[in-house]
């Protein structure tokens, strides 16, 4: 049992997890100091500029806005007031190698009509049954496993919820589960590509991750009305400061200090020492364990980390608009199974699917009459030992040729910013991946690095390395869970 102490809380890292923790703690009257090495909030949810264009360098898909609303609401702020969101229509445009396409839209009947037009009435009926089954799985999983504290093994011991998940097919492999419900290969791909969000190919991911497809294709995809995705951390930082948190930018935490009763403070690179009764570490955990954290904070779950694949992302500034372009377009390659095998072997995919994002509604991204285009291609992380000095220019040239063939024109001479796995590593991401650990069973829920240190009282963790994992809603939830543990233990 931890001693009851109500001292300052230091949060390290102004990413979504750290900001969420700061909001929840400050709103409950705790003294909160948040330190961030960069000059702006955001962490992975970053931003970059080139030749008058602004690019979101982190997540581009925002789902589950109710999680954001709950975070702001903890401090008495209204989501619509501080961060108005727009529901995209379509959520995605899926373009297949045979020239066909499917717009993923809101509403069961409206979406079924699109499926009927592409795949026929029998598949549309199967889709509606599958959609209901996705909803059942989401309901069984959300409150018991995603939105729940998994710092203790008994957190997984929820027999009724486990039985519901099993009955819904949650412990089958994702590709087999979806293929048992849908017969058109294009529709199967539309509901299994999301496995890459959790760092796994569809044939290795458990069907429980079909909930990601539910969040995307049923719950909907959103986008801030102004400021792009980087507006999300800015709004969180504003709300945290209004609630009383103090945020220090351009300051790096060098060491979490401890005493006989647990954490005592945080030493900064300026030489300053911040006293603390609790610390929330919301940054890259493997790097934190390499010097920031005391040896006693070691977690056996990180002894042999299995990282997600990385990505090559190219951001382009265009001197034209793209009328009729969807906000998100996923261009599927011809190949499917073999591309995942290549990633698993540490090689580039031979025929990758591309996620193209064109935030036409964001008037802060480009000058009037201009627009931006961001293109993501899955890529191996740096743990595989690839020669990126040789590989990076080859992949960039291949991607430019692919985009030209898809009708986006010659983009070789336009302003651009490129992020490859070595660039992600330079930004502080272990193994050169912004997607942290993959979500194989041994790195899920209680098996993911713990949200609290068992041997260092007062030391807590938030962010995508902890449960529930990768993504905007999970990161926000991890911060709330860290704050709840501190508030319950008064540390």
Q: Sign of the CA dihedral 3, 4, 8, 12?
A: positive
Token pair of 218, please? 């049923």
As a whole number of Å, the end-to-end CA separation of the chain is 11
Quote the CA–CA distance of 270 and 278 in Å, as a whole number.
21
Token pair of 10, please? 């230091």
Q: Which residues pair with 437 in a beta bridge?
A: 307
Q: What number is the average pLDDT over the span 404-412?
A: 97
Residue 330 has pLDDT above 80, yes or no: yes
Q: What is the homologous superfamily of the domain 9-47+63-75+229-305+436-489 according to CATH?
A: FAD/NAD(P)-binding domain (3.50.50.60)
Place of tokens 């694949």: 309
Whether the bond into 468 is cis, omega within 30 of 0: yes
Give Cβ neighbours of residue 419 (< 8 Å, ≥ 6 apart): 57, 311, 312, 313, 314, 315, 427
The confidence score (pLDDT) of residue 158 equals 67
The confidence score (pLDDT) of residue 2 equals 47
Q: What number is the average pLDDT over the span 54-76?
A: 97
Least confident of 4-8, 303-307, 359-363: 4-8
Give Cβ neighbours of residue 366 (< 8 Å, ≥ 6 apart): 52, 53, 54, 317, 318, 372
Q: Give per-residue pLDDT as tens, 411-466.
A: 999 999 999 999 999 999 999 999 999 999 899 888 999 999 999 999 999 999 99
The answer to whether residues 137 and 165 touch, using CB atoms and an 8 Å cutoff, is yes
The answer to whether residues 7 and 277 touch, using CB atoms and an 8 Å cutoff, is yes
Please name which of 469, 309, 470 lies closest in space to residue 378, comparing C-alpha atoms: 309
Quote the CA–CA distance of 6 and 25 in Å, as a whole number.
12
Q: Which residues of 97-117 are buried (b: 16+ CB within 10 A; e: fewer)?
A: eeeebbbbbbeeeebbebbbe
Residue 491 has pLDDT above 60, yes or no: no
Token pair of 429, please? 């991401």
Residue 289 has pLDDT above 50, yes or no: yes
Quote the CA–CA distance of 348 and 341 in Å, as a whole number.
10
Residue 280 has pLDDT above 50, yes or no: yes
Q: Sign of the CA dihedral 288, 290, 294, 298?
A: positive
The confidence score (pLDDT) of residue 154 equals 65
The confidence score (pLDDT) of residue 146 equals 83
What ranges do the domains of the chain cover? Answer: 9-47+63-75+229-305+436-489, 108-217, 308-432
Q: What number is the average pLDDT over the span 325-350?
A: 91
The answer to whether residues 38 and 305 touch, using CB atoms and an 8 Å cutoff, is no
Residue 406 has pLDDT above 70, yes or no: yes
Residue 241 has pLDDT above 50, yes or no: yes
Whether the bond into 206 is cis, omega within 30 of 0: no
**Would the pTM of this model clear 0.85, i.e. be above it?**
yes
Give Cβ neighbours of residue 136 (< 8 Å, ≥ 6 apart): 164, 168
Whether the bond into 238 is cis, omega within 30 of 0: no
Q: What number is the average pLDDT over the span 276-280?
A: 98
Query: How much of the chain exceeds pLDDT 90, in percent?
Result: 83
The confidence score (pLDDT) of residue 150 equals 77
Residue 1 has pLDDT above 50, yes or no: no
Place of tokens 């969180």: 236
Q: What is the DSSP letter of 173?
A: B
The confidence score (pLDDT) of residue 445 equals 87
Please name which of 39, 149, 421, 460 lies closest in space to residue 283, comparing C-alpha atoms: 460
Quote the CA–CA distance of 209 and 178 in Å, as a whole number.
11
Place of tokens 């006989």: 260
Quote the CA–CA distance of 440 and 259 in Å, as a whole number.
36
Place of tokens 């049954």: 129
Say whether 37 sits in a helix, a strand or coil.
coil
Residue 161 has pLDDT above 90, yes or no: no
Residue 84 has pLDDT above 60, yes or no: yes
What kind and span of H or E run contains 81? helix 79-82
Residue 225, number of CB atoms within 10 A of its CB: 14
Give Cβ neighbours of residue 157 (< 8 Å, ≥ 6 apart): none
Confidence category of residue 277, pLDDT binned at 50, 70, 90: very high
Quote the CA–CA distance of 220 and 223 in Å, as a whole number.
10
Token pair of 412, please? 């070789």
The confidence score (pLDDT) of residue 360 equals 87
Quote the CA–CA distance of 116 and 124 in Å, as a whole number.
5
């Amino acid at each position: 049992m931890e001693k009851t102490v109500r001292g300052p809380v230091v949060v390290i890292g102004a990413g979504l997890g750290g900001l969420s923790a700061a909001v929840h703690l400050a709103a409950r009257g705790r003294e909160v100091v948040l330190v961030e090495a960069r000059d702006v909030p955001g962490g992975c949810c970053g931003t970059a500029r080139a030749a008058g264009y602004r690019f979101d360098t982190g997540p581009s898909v925002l789902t589950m806005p109710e999680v954001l609303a709950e975070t702001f609401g903890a401090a008495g702020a209204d989501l619509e007031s501080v961060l108005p969101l727009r529901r995209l229509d379509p959520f995605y445009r899926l373009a297949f190698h045979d020239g066909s396409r499917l717009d993923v839209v809101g509403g069961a009947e409206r979406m079924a009509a699109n499926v009927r037009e592409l795949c026929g009435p029998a598949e549309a009926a199967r889709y509606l049954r599958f959609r209901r089954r996705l909803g059942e799985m989401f309901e069984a999983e959300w409150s018991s496993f995603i939105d729940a504290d998994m710092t203790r093994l008994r957190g997984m011991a929820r027999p009724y919820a486990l039985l519901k998940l099993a009955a819904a097919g949650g412990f089958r492999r994702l590709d087999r589960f979806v293929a048992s419900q849908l017969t058109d290969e294009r529709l199967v791909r539309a509901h299994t590509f999301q496995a890459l969000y959790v760092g796994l190919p569809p044939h290795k991911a458990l069907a429980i991750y079909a909930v990601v497809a539910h969040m995307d294709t049923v719950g909907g995809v959103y986008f801030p009305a102004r400021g792009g995705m980087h507006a999300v951390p800015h709004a969180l930082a504003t709300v945290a400061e209004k609630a009383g948190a103090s945020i220090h930018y351009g300051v790096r935490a060098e060491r979490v200090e401890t005493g006989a009763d647990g954490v005592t403070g945080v030493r900064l690179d300026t030489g300053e020492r911040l006293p603390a009764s609790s610390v929330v570490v919301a940054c890259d955990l493997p790097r934190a364990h390499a010097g920031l954290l005391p040896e006693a904070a070691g977690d056996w779950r990180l002894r042999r980390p299995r990282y997600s694949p990385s990505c090559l992302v190219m951001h382009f500034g265009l001197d034209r608009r793209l009328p009729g372009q969807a906000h998100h377009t996923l261009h599927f390659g011809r190949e499917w199974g073999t591309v995942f095998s290549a990633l698993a072997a540490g090689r580039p995919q031979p025929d990758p699917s591309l996620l193209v994002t064109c935030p036409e509604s964001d008037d802060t991204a480009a000058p009037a009459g201009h627009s931006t285009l961001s293109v993501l291609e899955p890529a191996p992380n740096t743990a595989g030992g690839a020669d990126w000095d040789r590989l990076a220019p080859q992949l960039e040239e291949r991607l430019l040729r692919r985009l030209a063939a898809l009708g986006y024109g010659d983009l070789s001479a336009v302003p651009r910013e490129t992020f490859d796995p070595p660039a992600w590593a330079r930004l502080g991401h272990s193994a050169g991946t912004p997607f942290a650990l993959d979500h194989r069973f041994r790195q899920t829920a209680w098996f993911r690095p713990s949200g609290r240190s068992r041997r260092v009282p007062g030391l807590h963790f938030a962010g995508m390395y902890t449960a529930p994992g990768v993504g905007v809603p999970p990161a926000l939830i991890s911060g709330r869970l860290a704050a709840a543990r501190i508030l319950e233990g008064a540390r």
